[in-house]
């Protein structure tokens, strides 16, 4: 492993072999970082001029093999932020200035362009691609190979090229103890927005 001088790692976090941790990177407690990851490297942004920028990773995250997470930029918030208890599978890329909440699953090869925001309990299927500046709401789900160019409202299932809405994530909401009444209200809202041409 290569661990830079400005990297802080919390207690009980594990780092696999051939991992590079660099930049102004703070990693919380109880994280498991698997082999061959690159965390805290400069962003893939031609406007970046080595300004001071940060990567912050919370507690209890699982970061699988070959993930790459970049620091923020002066043109953005200056920081890339990943919350707690996320499950980030192999080959996930999180670009500069992204903000991830908690309990999120990004399946293999999901890639986030710069400035993407994802709320709690979102699930992105494998090979999901998210365009810069998109916001993805809580409890959403995407199908394998989904390409997102616009914001995705909370609770929605998105699928396909240009991420068309495909109902709500009712099963995920049940697993998270949403009441039948709450799910019914969300379904009605979905119908008003997407099925009635609004």
The question of whether 93 is a catalytic residue gets the answer no
Would you say the C-alpha torsion 57, 90, 69, 157 has a positive or negative sign? negative
**The one catalytic residue among 28, 72, 76, 114:** 114
The question of whether 97 is a catalytic residue gets the answer yes
Phi-psi domain of 131 (left: phi exceeds 0; alpha: psi -120 through 50; beta: other)? beta
The question of whether 59 is a catalytic residue gets the answer no
Cα gap 15→1, rounded to integer Å: 8
Contact 62, 86 (CB under 8 A): yes
Closest CA to 147 of 169, 128, 164: 128
Q: Which two tokens stand for residue 130?
A: 């998210």
**The one catalytic residue among 93, 96, 115, 139:** 96
Torsion of CA 129, 133, 137, 139, to 10 degrees: 30
Q: How many beta carbons lie within 10 A of that of residue 144, not counting itself?
A: 13
Residue found by looking up tokens 């019914």 in the block = 184
List, in sequence order, every residue forming a beta bridge with 129; answer none if it has no partner. 111, 147
**The one catalytic residue among 40, 60, 97, 125:** 97
For the annotated catalytic residues, the residue numbers are 96-97, 114
């Amino acid at each position: 492993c290569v661990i830079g001088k400005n990297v802080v790692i919390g207690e009980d976090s594990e780092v696999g072999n051939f991992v590079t941790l660099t930049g102004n990177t703070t990693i919380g407690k109880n994280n498991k970082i698997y082999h061959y990851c690159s965390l805290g490297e400069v962003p893939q942004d031609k406007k970046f001029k080595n300004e001071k920028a940060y990567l912050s990773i919370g507690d209890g995250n699982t970061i699988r093999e070959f993930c790459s997470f970049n620091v923020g930029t002066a043109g953005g918030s200056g920081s890339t932020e990943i919350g707690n208890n996320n499950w980030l599978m192999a080959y996930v890329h999180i670009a500069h200035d992204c903000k991830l909440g908690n309990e999120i699953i990004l399946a293999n090869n999901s890639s986030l362009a710069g400035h993407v925001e994802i709320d709690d309990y979102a699930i992105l299927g494998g090979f999901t691609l998210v365009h810069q500046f998109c916001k993805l709401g809580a409890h959403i789900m995407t199908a394998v190979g989904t390409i997102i160019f616009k914001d995705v409202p909370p609770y929605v299932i998105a699928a396909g090229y240009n991420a068309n809405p495909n109902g709500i994530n009712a099963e995920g909401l049940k697993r998270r103890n949403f009441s039948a009444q709450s799910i019914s209200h969300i379904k009605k809202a979905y119908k008003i927005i997407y099925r009635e041409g609004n």
